[in-house]
Structure 1
């Protein structure tokens, strides 16, 4: 079983990690002193479960992942994250 962990309060380091772990992206935050990003991945080569804890507001622009990604939002919202023809959950309990 593959296990990967990441923990950083540096926005540039977080952007680099996310770009390597998912897809090329750029991230930003309007909050002064962006908060901490914690990521834990468990899985096998063909399937993984990633738990992300981002304790700051983050904007992003990302290239397509090239794979299926299901998200369960426990707290907060994901806005402006869509692909034509697909509905994306945007807050806890929505689908």
Structure 2
């Protein structure tokens, strides 16, 4: 049986086994990369949602600032009027000295 070779010493069989092992490893690596990509896409989606909420909050804050500025602008003439009336009263009322 000099011409008979076992699968253990057969170079082609050895290459096929090695290729199968490497293919399996590459499949595992590819799956890990795909899983990571899926996780990153989900994380990116979360970030986009958070960013959208932050933009909405920012818009609400800008609206509140605009309302406050408008209110202040409308109150300023009234406050000036009250201040002028107080000054006029101060001039009319004598200061008591002890």
Q: Which bracket does the TM-score occupy, shorter chain normalised?
A: under 0.3
Greater share of helix: 2
Higher relative contact order (CA 8 A, sep 6+): 1
Taking structure 1 as the reference length, the TM-score comes to 0.17
Larger Cα Rg: Structure 1 or Structure 2?
Answer: 2
